[in-house]
Amino acid sequence: MPRQITTSLKWKRNVRRYLFILPKLSMFALVYVFPVGMALFLSFTKWNIVGKPVFIGLENYINMWQDFIFLKSLQVTLIFTFIRVPLTVFFSLILAVLVNMKIKGRSVFRTIYFVPPVSAVAISAVIWKLLVFHPQLGILNHILEFMHFPPQDWLGNPNLALFSIIIFGIWWDVGFYMVIFLGGLQSIPPVFYEAAKIDGAGSWKVFWKITLPLLVPVMSVVFIMCTVWALQLFSEPYLFTYGGPFYSTQTLVLTVYKTCFKYNKVGYGSAISMFLLLAILLFSFFELKYFRKKAFEY
């Protein structure tokens, strides 16, 4: 290849090459870079879309903490996250281990368990609202009646609604994370298991001392993905209960949505969404740190 490419030729080549990524880059700037900047800017203003935004400094951030709805949605989001994430990770891990055992039809199981995540949350949620949670039609109440228990109002009872959404979420998610765990399990070199067998280790011990430690990197990915998704939950509460009853299922993003599109308080909504961004970054950072440490220990 000719070594003496003149500077201007090199420059032209670089420009030509950047053209390869220009379309993607410009979309990226439009959809990610510019909006984050705008969100930050808007969070310091008061604006209802009509007219000009009014700069009010940190007022939004201060008012948040006296807003009952914000605080309630923060509570709902945190409860939801702290319950759903461990449960989802636990079940998907167990499922991956079970499916990974030497049984026939493993790929069939894997495919079938993966069908819920392939469907739209929006559509599955409506299906569940109709078939599972519906007070008269739903299967849960049919089962309860069969066992002579009183039927429940799964989505209308403030104490039950969040729990119902969590159950739905686990049903929806488990297949997805199971596949990720399966990938992790299958990438463990059999050498480790053979060595353990030679040493006479029982399967429980094998699991604790070999499988789990080797799964730590995959587990950190699953944990973080699950946490980030849970903190941002929107579709399920919107479709099942629209935040009700009595805000018992109103997550932070639902609050942001309502603040902006129902009450037209765009500045305040932006401030809440920036707070959420901070929360997500903090959770991810600490989880990453925790798993780094665990990986180091092993």
Partner 1 sequence: MIKNVLAKVVLYSFLVGLCGIMIMPFVWIVSLSFRDTYSPSVVFSHFFPRNPTLNNYIKGFVDEKFLIWFLNSVFVTGVATVFCLFFDTLAGYAFAKLEMPGKEILFIFLLASLMIPFSILMIPLFVTFKFLGLINTRIAMAIPPFAYIFGVFLMREYIKPIPRDLLDSARIDGCGDWGVFFRIILPICKPALATLSVFTFILTWNSFVWPLVIISDVAKMPITIGMATFSTRLRAWGMISTLAVVGTLPPVVFFLALQKYYIKAIVLSGMKG
Q: List Cβ<8 Å contacts ≥24 apart for 278-281.
A: 279/231, 279/252, 280/227, 280/228, 280/231, 280/232
Q: How many CB atoms lie within 10 A of CB 229?
A: 16
Q: Which one, 101 or 191, has the nearer CB to partner 1?
A: 101
Q: Which is nearer to partner 1, 58 or 127 (CB)?
A: 127
Q: Which is nearer to partner 1, 145 or 195 (CB)?
A: 145
Please give the Cα distance from 172 to 154 (Å, whole number).
18
Per-residue CA distances from 208 to 66, 100, 136, 173, 225 (Å): 46, 16, 45, 24, 23
Least distance (Å) between residue 200 CB and partner 1: 19
- Characterize 207-226 residue by residue with b for buried, 16 or more Cβ atoms within 10 angstroms of its Cβ, and e for exposed: eeebbeebbbebbbbbbbbb
Nearer to partner 1, 54 or 130 (CB): 130
CB of 41 to partner 1, least distance (A): 9
CB of 127 to partner 1, least distance (A): 5
| CB nearer to partner 1: pick between 159 and 204 | 204
Pairwise CA distance, residues 130 & 93, whole Å: 29
When the beta carbons of 90 and 195 are compared against partner 1, the nearer one is 90
* 75 vs 284 by CB, closer to partner 1: 284
Q: Are 89 and 226 in contact (CB under 8 A)?
A: yes
For the CB of residue 68, give the shortest distance to partner 1 in the complex, in Å.
20
Instruction: Give, in degrees to the nearest 5, the angle at Cα 36 between 35 and 41.
Output: 90
Contact by Cβ (8 Å): 253, 269: no
How far apart are CB 262 and partner 1 at their closest, in Å?
12
CB of 216 closer than 8 Å to CB of 291: yes
Q: Quick one: 128 or 154, whose CB is closer to partner 1? A: 128
CB of 158 to partner 1, least distance (A): 21
At 172 the three-state DSSP class reads helix
- 113 token code pair: 């368990």
In the complex, what is the shortest distance from the CB of residue 212 to partner 1, in angstroms, rounded to a whole number? 16
Task: Give the shortest CB-162-to-partner 1 separation in angstroms.
Answer: 19
Query: ω into residue 189 within 30 of 0, thus cis?
Result: no
